[in-house]
Amino acid sequence: MIDDHTTSPGPLEVPDPETAPGPTSVDLPRVEAAVRELLDAIGEDAERNGLLDTPARVARMYAEVCGGLHEDPRRHLRTTFDADHDEMIMVRDIAFHSLCEHHLVPFFGRAHVAYIPNEEGRITGLSKLARLTLGYARRPQVQERLTTQIAEGIEEVLAPRGVLVVVEAEHLCMAMRGVRSPGATTVTSAVRGLFRTDVAARAEAMGLIGCASAQP
């Protein structure tokens, strides 16, 4: 699935995370109370020995896996340098996990991120592309939005000539419940700029990722 979008006219000024307003923590006692209520509601005994510490564990777990809610992942792209390189840059196989916002169970997989720097040569560190991806993944998500947010984050901050993002993931909401189809993989893509208009550039990127088809 290819998601079309108009290219941003220039780089975006991303707020400094040290001064940007917004929530910075999770209300752990409130999460603990909600978990106790959930255990009681499904017929468990939240006071039995094996479950006594579960609410606190779950609260800490949610604070960790949803930590991306309290940051602007685009901040990782603020550091750029000139490498005298004007061709494609790709980071493949960025492993991630996220929470399906419909059922609050995990989906996990790999993201492949590519961009073509603009004429000014705005290049960011390779690890920053992984940090951007993980920042958007560490929150309640849907895969389609995650794919789009990664592409738009790069587009808004670096203003490249082209961006291509492919995300492959398995969803436990499909494996554990409903259709119960473990092993099924969902693939989404977001294609911007030259990767959308230049068939050869798109084919090269898809070939490096290992996708069978480079057609939109």
Among 66, 76, 171, 204, the active-site one is 171
CA separation for the pair 142, 160 (Å, rounded) = 25
Among 37, 47, 64, 101, the active-site one is 101
Verify whether residue 141 is a known catalytic residue: no
Among 5, 103, 170, 211, the active-site one is 103
Alpha helices in the chain (DSSP H): 28-41, 54-65, 126-137, 143-158, 172-175, 194-197, 199-209
Among 143, 149, 152, 155, the active-site one is 143
Verify whether residue 112 is a known catalytic residue: no
Tokens standing for 70? 């309290």
Among 32, 144, 173, 211, the active-site one is 173
Verify whether residue 215 is a known catalytic residue: no
Q: Which residues contact 187 (CB under 8 A, 6 or more apart)?
A: 1, 166, 167, 168, 211
Among 37, 47, 64, 102, the active-site one is 102
Verify whether residue 173 is a known catalytic residue: yes
Tally Cβ neighbours within 10 Å of residue 46. 15
Among 100, 112, 152, 168, the active-site one is 100
Verify whether residue 103 is a known catalytic residue: yes
Catalytic residue annotation: 100-103, 143, 171, 173
